[in-house]
A and B are shown apart, each in its own frame.
Chain A
């Protein structure tokens, strides 16, 4: 009862108690932040360790040992920046490889966005005969292991005369990717139907509804598809390995693999190449992370 009486509901405002608790609150908040930042900094350091190790390794001259019993990183005594120039242009034309990979990646993203958004729109928002059956067929294709397709696809593309070109790496994107179609369909289904009705009353036809209403509203899921395509294509080793035989058309993944598989691996150059190829991925993540996280969250939640 006493405590109840002490907390005044009316009358003169009590001065001491709130001040003291406010001060305590401030201290606790600062302490919380300090601990939080310490943990985060620690975790960041752990993640950055291999990267910094790679950087010091990339900066070593040819004869300096890379795999030392205790790993070496900063502060380092070697600053061979020339390794980057070597790997980008001379020993291996990684600059060329990066441009090659960019071509494949860009074309693939374009293909995925065009084909998957159209098919996803049809499955998600149009009513037509057999749509369900077709959709199930599409889902079933996701269950076919890709290993089973390598040989028939290879034969097909050789038959078409596309061996040694980028076409086998690009064209399949334009024919749709089942998983992305599924994602886009699920997302588009969550957009209210009333918008279609409003658009139809406003005089839009189906194509205009797709282009002006549904597509702009689907940017989160389209971002997810674009970024995933970027990652898959950028890191893809097997595709280029199978279809490319001309060194000038190699991709970064292929270039890296070739560096390592040589008998005498130049680890300093390999690390330099590694770091360079990671840069675009980091940049992409940096620019789209907000949209990407939002996109994955909304795709997951609404789908």
Chain B
């Protein structure tokens, strides 16, 4: 077990695309760190560089006290779980798990013991003599885990290990991976594009975008204090609503105005964000769907914390209701927002462009199941004013206490 340290790690591919730009990262000993970001953000490249499957263009990687930048993968004392499992098709489960130990010339009894222990942990005893093609997706996934566990390595590297499983199995295996990681306390780097997976698994979550570090923090930190618009939009589901707004002082208070709506910003929010104080400042306002509620269900709602909007769509989820409504403001289109939309798919970009031409943007509120809001009618939506997010329209950075240091220094991350 060991910590993993990346310093100035850069990867430029042969076609000159820069996949990773000068990345500093500390993976604390025994913790599970999730690298997350949209496709093409360089997260898998980072993992492959830690594994030694990809050469570094610049920088160093250390596992424990040992700099491993030039060490071949087999000698780095790491184990990796691949997206498609990469099990050896011609070998039985037992042989798959034992191969690395055999190569290391461990004693036969020792190999047998380790394989048996791993099979116990993963409930694979009855499959040991089967070949991968005879197993289901979930079982193959477990074998891939087993192949990593028997090594008793310094670190686990996992490259989207759950993405080939169906939704239900994914939740189950996610819990399994978490349990195993907690039991073994092996330093783990986990790559995913699924923010839910990142939030539920990670001790620390690292958000990457186009090869650049956006933010590192605990899941709660990323959720509550996103360093920029990209992180704000990426973390949370459904995604944070964003609108262009202005912050103004009126009637002895500070208000944030957008699309004809006016919300009073409480003093404690202002105190926490000195950057907001300037008058008539254009900002990008972020409101999470779960921070809105049907005003009829909120007792202490004041007119200054409500907006009245026509409901376009009502989606009952059982536990809550998603209310979709549009406001008279063009959608915020920055590079970050485009990137997030393109990660969802071409349709999301089209929708964004459509909204831009109509100068209307759609917001989503997640309200209580008792809400009686109905489609076509106006509804009073209460906004939790203590939980607003403000971003600088020019840079996309969060306005406020984190403005000075949007990306914490790498050294500060280690526990």
A residues bordering B, Cβ < 8 Å?
Answer: 192, 194-195, 197-205, 208, 212-213, 216-217
Partner of A217, one of B80, B83, B90, B104: B90
B408 within 8 A of A: no
Using known A-B contacts A202-B74, A203-B74, A216-B90, determine if residue A197 contacts B99 with beta carbons closer than 8 Å.
Answer: no
Residue in B51, B82, B90, B100 whose CB lies within 8 Å of A203: B100
Known A201-B51, A202-B100, A202-B103: A194·B75 in contact at CB below 8 Å: no
A194-B84, A216-B90, A217-B90 known; A201 and B103 CB under 8 Å? no
Report which of B48, B52, B89, B99 forms a contact with A202, defined as CB distance below 8 A.
B99
CB of B103 within 8 A of CB of A192, answer no
CB distance from A283 to the nearest CB of B (A): 26
Which 10 A-B residue pairs are closest in the complex by CB-CB distance? Answer: A203-B74, A202-B100, A194-B86, A198-B86, A200-B73, A203-B103, A216-B90, A201-B80, A201-B73, A197-B53
How far is it, in angstroms, between the C-alpha of A131 and the C-alpha of B74 when the chains are bound?
26
A-B contact count (CB 8 A): 58
For chain B, the count of residues having a C-beta within 8 Å of the partner chain is 24
Among A198, A200, A201, A202, chain B packs the most CB atoms within 10 A around the CB of A201
B316 proximal to A (CB < 8 A): no
Residue in A192, A195, A198, A213 whose Cβ sees the most chain B Cβ within 10 Å: A198
Q: Residues of B contacting A199 with CB < 8 Å? A: 88, 99
19 A–B contacts from the bound complex (CB under 8 Å): A192-B86, A194-B82, A195-B86, A195-B88, A197-B86, A198-B80, A198-B86, A198-B88, A200-B53, A201-B52, A201-B73, A201-B74, A201-B79, A201-B80, A202-B147, A203-B104, A204-B74, A205-B74, A217-B89
Task: Please give 14 more A-B residue pairs, beta carbons under 8 A apart, in addition to A197-B80, A203-B75, A204-B103.
Answer: A192-B84, A192-B86, A194-B82, A194-B84, A197-B86, A198-B80, A198-B82, A198-B87, A200-B72, A201-B51, A201-B53, A201-B78, A202-B99, A202-B100
What is the minimal beta-carbon distance from B215 to any residue of chain A, in angstroms? 29
Known pairs A213-B88, A217-B90; A197 contacts B82 (CB<8 A): yes
Which residues of the partner chain B approach A195 to less than 8 Å between Cβ atoms? 86, 88
Contacts of A212 in B (CB 8 A): 99
The interface residues of chain A lying within 8 Å CB-to-CB of B84 are 192, 194
Which residues of chain B are near A213, meaning CB under 8 Å?
Answer: 88
Instruction: Give the chain B neighbours of A197 by CB distance below 8 A.
Output: 48, 51, 53, 73, 80, 82, 86
